Amino acid sequence: MIPSMAVSHHRHVQSKGWGRLVLIGLAVGLGVLLLAVPLAVIFAHAFARGWEAWWHTVSSPDTVQALWLSLFTVAVVVPINAIYGLSVAWAVTKFRWQGKKWLVSLVELPFSMSPIVAGVACLMVYGSSGLLGGVLETLDLKVMFAVPGIVIATLFVTSPFIARELIPLMRLQGTEEEEAAQVLGAGGWWTFLAVTLPNIKWALFYGLILCAARALGEFGAVSVVSGHIRGETNTLPLHIDLLYHDYDGSGAFAAASVLTLLALVTVVLKILVEGKGKPQE
């Protein structure tokens, strides 16, 4: 790789197209090698024993339940994160106040933290020997090793996605339009709905999609708090892991192909949204 880079740099002086060609070749080559090949392998393995075997795994009650739980988690997590992301971005970009920088750093913290740490942290708060463990037990509320725990852990990990998409754009847009609306007599909510929201809608969609994709695939944090109860608290990624460790390779790949298909749906949505968002900037 390094020698070819050197060559491309050298030739760059003589022919403009050469370096570009090598770089494009590298990007495409690596993309195929690192992404397309493993993806193709998943589907090849998934269907290695035929459609019927694939359908047998995919339609088994445990896989179906795992799929529902994953989709349910996404359905709960994404709206909550949207509200959270909007309020954070709104507060940070439209107002001046002390400690703004701290809030932005705090919002981005889950990005730099390993999901497993997030999971353990949840356990330390909501587990039986955790901070709120006693209270939850007296109230007979099950949080850890149940669906609420999975939602909380996923929320933690995916919380920065929407805020991170919105903050740079809203900062760029500034507050002039909002100020104009206020001068013209619009209230806070009306300003938000009629001025801010239309301006950021594509970035918001983009954030929603990223957030959904990440929530769907989250493994580490959820693995700590799920309890792995088959047919109850296993999400799709956990279910794939279980099948794989149990020497049911083809079953694991069949389930993985479903998760991959869902991921591809989010990718397509993302491309569509990107196309829409562009002319605005």
Partner 1 sequence: MKTRTLAAALILTLSLGTGAAQAEDKVPADILNVSYDISRELFAQINPAFQAKWRKDTGQSIEVKQSHGGSSKQARSILEGLPADVVTFNQVTDVQVLADKGFVRADWQQAYPNSASPFYSLPAFLVRKGNPKNIKSWDDLVRSDVKVVFPNPKTSGNARYTYLAAYAFALEKFGGDQVQAKDFIRRLLANVPVFDTGGRGATTTFVERETGDVLISFEAEVKGIQKEYGTDKVEVVIPPVSLLAEFPVAVVDKVAEKRGSRKIASAYLGYLYSDEAQDILAKNYNRVSNPKIAEKYKAQFPNVRLYTVELFGGWDNIRKIHFAEGGILDQVFEKK
Shortest Å, Cβ 217 to partner 1 = 19
Task: Name 196's Cβ contacts closer than 8 Å, sequence gap at least 6.
Answer: 90, 94, 170, 177, 178
Q: Segment near partner 1 (CB under 8 A), from 77-85, 128-136, 161-169, 264-272?
A: 128-136
Residues contacting partner 1: total by CB under 8 A: 25
Interface residues for partner 1 in 191-250 (CB under 8 A)?
227-233, 242-249
**Which amino acid makes up residue 262?**
L
| Closer by beta carbon to partner 1, 92 or else 242 | 242
Q: Which is nearer to partner 1, 51 or 247 (CB)?
A: 247
Instruction: Assess contact for 1 and 26: CB atoms under 8 A.
Output: yes
Q: How far apart are CA 269 and CA 271, in angstroms?
A: 5
CA distances 169 to 134, 144, 192, 203, Å, are: 43, 37, 15, 8
Judged by CB, which is closer to partner 1: 133, or 277?
133
Question: CA 218, 267, 274, 74: dihedral to nearest 10 degrees?
Answer: -40
Interface mask (CB under 8 A) for partner 1, residues 141-160, using x and -?
-x-xx---------------
State the alpha helices, DSSP H only, in 113-187: 115-126, 133-138, 147-158, 160-173, 176-183
Residue from 8, 12, 117, 133 that binds partner 1 (CB under 8 A)?
133
Least Å distance, CB 127 to partner 1, is: 4
Residues found near partner 1 in the complex (CB under 8 A): 123, 127-130, 133, 137, 142, 144-145, 227-233, 242-249
